[in-house]
Structure 1
Amino acid sequence: MAASSSSSAVQNPLNPLNLPPIVKVGKSLQVTGNMMPFDKDALKLCFDKAVDFESLRVNGFDVEELFNKQGWNRYFEMLNGPIFAGLIKEFWMKASVFDKNYAELEEEPCLIKDPSLKGKTREQMGLRPFNGTGLVWTSLSRKGILPSC
């Protein structure tokens, strides 16, 4: 019994699964303000490779050919570049950190507005829970860049 396979032409080699685009650029895209109060050109990026075969080779581990024979070269090309420095800087200019100090600053206006909330949990105050320091993630939507709560 012969196995049959249907082969369809891949239209975009960078998107072989033909996944839908994540972001649609248009008039609905809104740019948020920066969280960091300085010029993004002041940010210095340290470029590095996720897998540096040259460094491994210099240190006596010449394994690049082993991965190439297994067909992994395209994967490592994807991991090692390109780096979109402008996009990375824009992200970090707009990112904010949700730490204990920020959580306490969020609670103060609630307590001033309604003193009966003293001793209540953040959820009871109508605030998102604080589970430890982390980045405040954002998501893109048709309405703009929104915090993911």
Structure 2
Amino acid sequence: MATSSSIPESSNMQEVVPTYEIKERTMSLEEWDLKIQTENPVDFTSLAFHGCDIRRFYEAQGLMDYFNMLNRPTYQTLVRHFWVRASVYNKESVKLEETEKILINPTLEGKSREEMGLEPFVCTEIRSSIMGIPVHI
């Protein structure tokens, strides 16, 4: 026995919604325009206040100069060098890198990243270099 209803049949069809897209933003700034607000990387006073007085261990080993250096402009300069030269390495960067390799050597078409001599892409990274040393976070 067939029944009729005024309710239309529901469909399992879902609306196609465009995926979330991250748009690139490029900033151009001079190195010394970047203002860095730093705290003490290791705040011995705060640690002692909270019951963890470790200053004496570092003083006994003669390492306090290292921690003092971190609070000087050396640390700020390293941070400034990193962020001014930073770039995002993502899927688009990977495709561009592969395309450039193929343009230089067309025989690489269809090969894996390893066969092209490129590092495997694992995840999105922020890449920079400090004093010629590559740094990825």
DSSP 3-state at the match of 2:92: helix
Asked if the contact 1:95–1:137 (Cα under 8 Å) also holds between the matched residues in 2, the reply is: yes
Higher helix share: 2
- Residue 120 of structure 2 corresponds to 130
Asked if the contact 1:98–1:136 (Cα under 8 Å) also holds between the matched residues in 2, the reply is: no
Q: Deviations over 1:61-107 (max 9, x none)?
A: 333234424434334333x3323334532332223333322011222
State the Cα distance separating 1:116 from its structure 2 match: 7.6
- Residue 40 of structure 2 corresponds to 49
Tell me the distance in 1 between the aligned counterparts of 2:48 and 2:129: 38
2:85 to 94, 109, 113: 94
Tell me the distance in 1 between the aligned counterparts of 2:51 and 2:28: 46
Tell me the distance in 1 between the aligned counterparts of 2:77 and 2:61: 34
Which segments of 5 or more consecutive residues in structure 1 lack a partner in the other structure? 1-34, 141-145
Percent same amino acid among aligned pairs? 29
Tell me the distance in 1 between the aligned counterparts of 2:101 and 2:63: 54
Asked if the contact 1:111–1:117 (Cα under 8 Å) also holds between the matched residues in 2, the reply is: yes
Which segments of 5 or more consecutive residues in structure 2 lack a partner in the other structure? 1-25
Asked if the contact 2:47–2:53 (Cα under 8 Å) also holds between the matched residues in 1, the reply is: yes
Q: Does 1:77 align with 2:50?
A: no
- Residue 37 of structure 1 corresponds to 28
